[in-house]
Amino acid sequence: MIDSMNTLLSEVTGTVWKVEAPPGTVVAEGDVVLIVESMKMEIPVCAPCAGTVRAVWVAEGDPVADGQPVAEIA
């Protein structure tokens, strides 16, 4: 089961442009975990809390939908 407080969701439909924090990376609240490109704009997906990136469920170049879970912070 996934705790929604620790799950990062894509805010837009687009393509994963870059994974900034792979699994195992320690992040602070607000740190960029990955960047989604949509309509030539780069939209950061930021950590909702401090912790360690537990999983990233997408890779660079993958398509993502608005609201799709993309990573988890433990």
Q: What is the per-residue pLDDT for 3? A: 47
- 45 beta partners: 34
Based on its alpha-carbon atoms, the radius of gyration of the chain, rounded to whole angstroms, reads 11
Look at residue 73 and tell me if it is in a domain.
no
Look at residue 53 and tell me if it is in a domain.
yes
Q: Read off the CATH number of the domain in which 47 is found.
A: 2.40.50.100
Domain of residue 35, residue span: 4-67
Q: What is the pLDDT of residues 21-60, one digit of tens each?
A: 999 999 999 999 999 999 999 999 999 899 999 999 999 9
Helix ranges (DSSP H) in the chain: none
- The terminus-to-terminus CA distance of the chain in angstroms comes to 13
Burial of 65-74, coded b for 16+ CB within 10 Å and e otherwise, reads eeebebbbbe
- pTM comes to 0.87
